[in-house]
Amino acid sequence: MEEHYVRILKERLDTENYNKLMAIRNSYLHKFIAKYIDLCNPDSVFVSDGSERDQRYIREAAIKNGEEIPLAIEGHTVHFDGYYDQARDRENTKILVPKGVYLGENIRTMDREEGLREIHEIMKDIMKGHECYICFYTLGPENSVFTIPCLQITDSSYVAHSENILYRQGYKEFIRRGETSDFFKFVHSEGELDERKTSKNIEKRRIYIDLEGDTVYSANTQYGGNTIGLKKLAMRLAINHAAKEGWLTEHMLIMGIHGPNGRVTYFTGAFPSMCGKTSTAMLEGETIVGDDIAYIRSIDGIAKAVNVEKGVFGIIKGINKKDDPIQWKVLHSPNEIIFSNVLVDEKGKVYWSGMGEDIPDRGYNHSGEWWRGKRDKEGKEIPPSHPNARFTVSLEAFENLDPRWDDPKGVEIGAIVYGGRDSDTWVPVQEAFDWDHGIVAKGASLESERTAAVLGKEGVREFNPMSNLDFLSIPIGRYIEINLEFGKKLRRKPKIFAVNYFIRDKETGEYLTDKVDKKVWYKWMELRVHDDIEAIWSPTGYIPKYEDLKSLFDKVLSKDYPESLYIKQFTIRIPENLSKIKRIRNIYSKIKNTPKELFKILDEEEKRLKEVREKLGDYVSPRDLEKLVQKP
């Protein structure tokens, strides 16, 4: 007797798509797909085998159904999200947990049974009138210890198109693995659309992550951060697996910094959105492995990392020809690119804030027809492009792509960098004393000013450990403990650094660093990884010597670097650092199961700061620190 799920698939799929699906010998997969086709009730179903033919079908569908609009440059399209669907929806993104499981007050959770019941009610017939796309991908290189296979079910051709650009195709990996339930699953529907082809029922926007079922549900939204399941939504699933299996899932770029004599040192870096992460990954003269998410494993005592993705879902605001020549070239060349929520003129040219060119007075954007001075229903003036406007493009479009970007063995990490928006505390670059100090005083103590990448009030300083708080699916205390434990497995530990691109002058409030100065900070860090240069001890970590930075500014940027600027940048602001420690200690004192080591390291840093203050005052010049006896 024919199984019920087979009958559903035969009835709902045509012969070609049915055969593509059945080529994967996996009854668990077939049952899952049949369940959601039956529940969501699309008009038709397309199964992608990852071939160029099938990817082209999805690209063309996105244009045909109006989710994307062709632009002037070949291969470029634009997608508009709804006016109130422009960022990650924190309030309605929840992790579903069984009764009795508590992840902590910093992580939004919901009773699993209640959440599954609600999301299934919302998804009943939600795809009616739409085509459903069944796609297969892998997170990380295929056929590797890092590989996680993924199934995406969506009725948005924009989402499927985006994932085809951002992720490695996984159809062959599913065939290779055969009968298994060990894969991530994503079910998404944009829901009913308005006349602009944007999600209409925003009040029913839900993003639920079911850890037990390794499944993400997303409904009534199109914005990529809520719908491109393999991105930040998959991080919750991966963090949960990593915690059980002893590896790390991190919100980190991976890049190769090129040192003397052809040496390449691989860095990872964690930055909250709009804090310079993508621009760092795209530094001219260096090579990119990935700009957003890293899986890190200890392999024979060496920290190895892979890029989970093969593309960039990047913030476009501020990208300009002078500061970002590599990205600028890609954005103006014939490539497969999806722009989102930018301004488009009548000729199909795109514009965005901070691009360094005159922006026309009229055009079309996320609000519809736009003109300078246009206001929304709250009376707020609408900018030409949204602050969180994006571009989606393959890494292979970039001339600075590292040759090992897809290495299934991963790349060895020489350094880990943490950075956020910080106007008054951290110096532009500093090195932690050791692994534990770096994890606690840099990573676990990360704070950053809120930006337009999340819904809510901008400008509020937020606690964001390892820039990963939004994506945690385990208690924060456990997450910090796992990071500390990971270092104990390593026979060669990466050095840990902190950077701050946003330090301001105490008197004038002006930024003390230029956007391009980060090129110098990374060259300095690369030299420190190999102990090629000395550094100055400070109570918060090692900082650069003026002479080394002056030489690097000249060599890297052909730029004079006055000592007066160095002193302003690298003066240790003891009151602000003490206030930060107090804030961080207070936060962790309320978090259950925070490792005792964290409080010990914070106490030690506080003690060092107070001892230096007694000798040298509240604001301590690096020249005065050089006179102290401590040596790196």
125, 155, 150: which is closest to 137 by C-alpha?
150
> For the domain 313-394, what is the CATH code?
2.170.8.10
Give the per-residue pLDDT at 1. Answer: 45
Among 40, 132, 135, 275, which one carries the catalytic annotation? 275
CB atoms within 10 A of CB 345: 14
pLDDT tens track for 357-389: 999 999 999 999 999 999 999 999 999 999 999
Q: Which 3 state secondary structure label does DSSP give 583? A: helix
- The residues facing 96 across adjacent strands are 110, 210
pLDDT of residue 2: 66
Whether residue 132 lies in the annotated active site: no
Q: What is the pLDDT of residue 632?
A: 45
- What pLDDT score was predicted for residue 275? 84
For the chain, 632 residues long, the average pLDDT of each consecutive 10-residue run is 86 97 97 98 98 98 97 97 91 94 90 97 98 98 95 98 98 97 98 94 96 97 94 96 96 97 97 84 93 96 97 92 91 97 97 96 96 95 95 96 97 97 95 98 91 53 91 95 96 97 93 94 98 97 98 97 98 97 96 96 98 96 86 46
The maximal CA–CA distance of the chain, rounded, in angstroms, is: 85
**Predicted pLDDT of residue 323:** 84
1 vs 22: CA distance, rounded Å: 18
In the chain, ranges of CATH 2.170.8.10 domains: 313-394
The number of beta carbons lying within 10 Å of the beta carbon of residue 299 is: 15
pLDDT at position 451: 55
The number of angstroms, rounded, from the C-alpha of 29 to the middle of its chain's C-alpha atoms is: 28
Residue range(s) in the chain whose domain bears CATH number 3.90.228.20: 248-310+405-626
CATH architecture observed for domain 248-310+405-626:
Alpha-Beta Complex (3.90)
- The residue type of 587 is I
Is domain 4-67+89-245 classified as CATH 3.40.449.10? yes
Residue 47 φ/ψ, nearest 5 degrees: -100, 120
pLDDT digits (tens, 9 = 90+) for 90-107: 899 999 999 989 898 889
Query: According to CATH, where is 3.40.449.10 located in the chain?
Result: 4-67+89-245
Determine the 3-state secondary structure of 537 from DSSP: strand
